[in-house]
Amino acid sequence: MRLLVSVRSAGEVAAAIAGGADIVDAKEPTLGSLGAVSGRVLREIAVGVPAGVSLSIALGEPKNVAALETAMGALHGLAPRPSRVYVKIGLSASGDGAKALLAGLVDLASRTAIRPSVIAVAYADYMAAGAPAPETVARLAAATGVDGVLLDTWGKDGGDLFHHLAEPALRAWIGQVRAAGLLVALAGSLSIEGVRAVAELPGDIVGVRGAACIGGRLGVVSAGRVAELKAALAERVATGA
């Protein structure tokens, strides 16, 4: 399982890389679960991410295709990369609105120079977010040609991923996404123990922000904290989990 670490500035990239992050995720935590950094900050972060490390870009929760086009404008000026680039959006719309957003993102991504992979974000606390249920997001993702689904928490002060979904429900949801041939990413206010628990599930990526920082999610990424998280994942691999 690969480790994704969210950074809010170019200054945090070196610590994430030094600690062993497989994916560096550009995100502004003061703007919510999927807060987007500015275009300038994104370009600075991208320059600092080594060629062999994947880059992920949070684009927020656009309410319509026009807002989505504006969000995607931050990618202009990014040079093509040899490693994979991901873009992800949360779905605060429902039904046809959510489907239109995902289809629009797939289309826009296919027409950018960096051709990023598209990730739909589902929320375990979807009712609080006013978003579609995770099972619905998985179906929409399969129908619109996105590359993967991230299951996260919308609220960051109401418990972690496992607070909202028990392990059997998580495994069932992962099975639904995998059956559609999509990548599975898991996040949501995870501590190091939460990362260990996620490592026992059949996912592809685990994402963190607060657990990688000194001072919580609004603090600063620490190479030591990232290394501890990476070691926790390695422990599960070593034991065959």
Active site members:
27, 88
Asked if 36 contacts 60 with a C-beta cutoff of 8 angstroms, the reply is yes
Q: Kindly give the pairing relationship between strand 220-221 and strand 213-214.
A: antiparallel
Biggest alpha carbon–alpha carbon distance for the chain:
48
Contacts 24+ apart (CB under 8 A), 161-166: 161/124, 161/186, 161/187, 161/188, 161/189, 161/190, 161/194, 161/198, 162/194, 162/197, 164/124, 164/125, 164/188, 165/124, 165/134
d(CA 18, CA 192): 18
